[in-house]
Amino acid sequence: MSNVLVLVDHTAGAVRKTTAELLTIARRLGEPVAVFVGEGVTDVQAALPALGQYGATKVIALSNPELTQFLVAPKAEALAQVAAKIEPSAILISSNAEGKEIAARLAVKLDSGLITDAVDVVAADGGAVTTQSVFAGNFTVRAKVTHGTPIITVKPNAATPEAAETSPEVEEFDVTISDAAKTARIVESKPREATGRPELTEAAIIVSGGRGTGGDFGPIEAFADSLGAAVGASRAAVDSGWYPHAYQVGQTGKTVSPQLYVAAGISGAIQHRAGMQTSKTIVAVNKDPEAPIFELVDFGVVGDLHKVLPTATEEVTKRKS
């Protein structure tokens, strides 16, 4: 069976859920081979159980320090070298900013077609056929790569991780990084404080606040916490400095597709919809009955979020305890 490369998304060996999703998808297409870029052997060992749980048949470890010191160009170079040796039938990468940039460079290096932001990937027509959501979620497109090694970036939640226990061997792989790839570097990095809430793009439930919060995200966060949800924000709230940009939902923020999306004090502008329209269930709280967000909802409350959310939070907490 053919090999399918999966670039592992992790922090210091802690494998992210998206990688389990990629491995699950890779098994539909062939034998998953995980490519792990890290600081050293300890990280790979830490990641190994998770990679084995979801069916990685082999783990290729790349631990050249230059891979993490510089921006993405060296990682793309390394992956190209791995691909040249393994000759995979497809390469799967997480659809985040870094993943997309690696994929873009890889497409040029390997003379291959690239599909980004797949929300599903299946084996059909003798290859991978992807599903993407385009034009603010108004269209669904199925596509395939017709030239070279299909390179596909896959969005979080594109598959439900299915375990398939293996005990993968680790293969150290030596890469050579060109000087050209080392030209842009990270000079400072301030880690964001952990909120303890689920990752926005991976969350099953998201509660988002907009301009209607008037700057107080307290009721949004409290309601989110009662539901075990992630917190999101509209651009108006982000631009006002009320919530960090990393939590912005929409065209220029994150595209999310949770089971439940709650929009509070958000009007529902097209650019916001672009990021949340494909959510399974949509709920809105807005004091304006004419707000366009109500066109999308499964359930809507016309009212003041400062009254509705705290009462709802209390009720949810009561029912859950």
Partner 1 sequence: MKIVVCAKFVPDATADRRFRPEDNTVDRAGVDGLLSELDEYAVETALTVKEAGDAEVTVLTVGPEQAADAVKKGLQMGADAGVHVLDDAIHGSDAVATSLILSKALAKLEADLVVFGMGSTDGGMGVVPAMVSERLGLPAVTLGSEVTVDGQTVRIRRDGDTASETIEGTLPLVLSVSDQANEPRYPSFKGIMAAKKKPVETWSLADLELTPEQVGGSSAWTEVVEVTARPPRTAGTIVTDEDGSGAAGLVEFLSTNKFL
Ligand X SMILES: Cc1cc2nc3c(=O)[nH]c(=O)nc-3n(C[C@H](O)[C@H](O)[C@H](O)COP(=O)(O)OP(=O)(O)OC[C@H]3O[C@@H](n4cnc5c(N)ncnc54)[C@H](O)[C@@H]3O)c2cc1C
Binding positions for ligand X, 243-282, rule CB under 6 A: 248-253, 265-267, 269, 271-272, 275
Looking at this protein, which amino acid is placed at residue 125? D
Minimal distance, residue 299 CB to partner 1, in Å: 4
Structure tokens at 73: 């160009």
Token pair of 277 as six digits: 């329209």
Give whichever of 57 and 95 is closer to partner 1, judged by the CB atom.
95
Choose from partner 1, ligand X, none: what does 15 bind? Cβ within 5-8 Å by kind.
none
Residue 315 in the binding site for ligand X (CB under 6 A): no
Instruction: Give the angle subtended at the CA of 144 by the CAs of 103 and 85, to the nearest 5°.
Output: 50
CA-closest candidate to residue 86, choices 57, 49, 115: 57
The answer to whether 237 contacts ligand X (rule: CB under 6 A) is yes
Dihedral angle over CA of 204, 207, 208, 211, nearest 10: 170
- Beta carbon nearer to partner 1, 30 or 156: 156
Side-chain-side CA neighbours of residue 135 (13 Å): 4
Among the listed residues 38, 210, 258, 300, the single contact to ligand X using CB under 6 A: 210
Report what 210 binds from ligand X, partner 1, none; CB cut-off 5-8 Å by kind.
Answer: ligand X
Q: What is d(CA 213, CA 155) in angstroms, rounded to the nearest whole number?
A: 29
* Span interacting with ligand X, options 92-100, 111-119, 128-136, 209-217, rule CB under 6 A: 209-217
Judged by beta carbon distances under 5 to 8 A according to partner kind, the member of ligand X, partner 1, none in contact with residue 237 is ligand X
- Least distance CB 152 / ligand X (angstroms): 24
Amino acid letter, 69: Q
How far apart, in whole angstroms, are the C-alpha atoms of residue 246 and residue 253? 7
**Between vectors from CA 95 to CA 36 and to CA 106, what angle results, nearest 5°?**
65
Regarding 285 and contact with ligand X (CB under 6 A), the answer is: yes
Binding site for ligand X (CB under 6 A): 210-212, 234-237, 248-253, 265-267, 269, 271-272, 275, 285-288, 291, 304-306
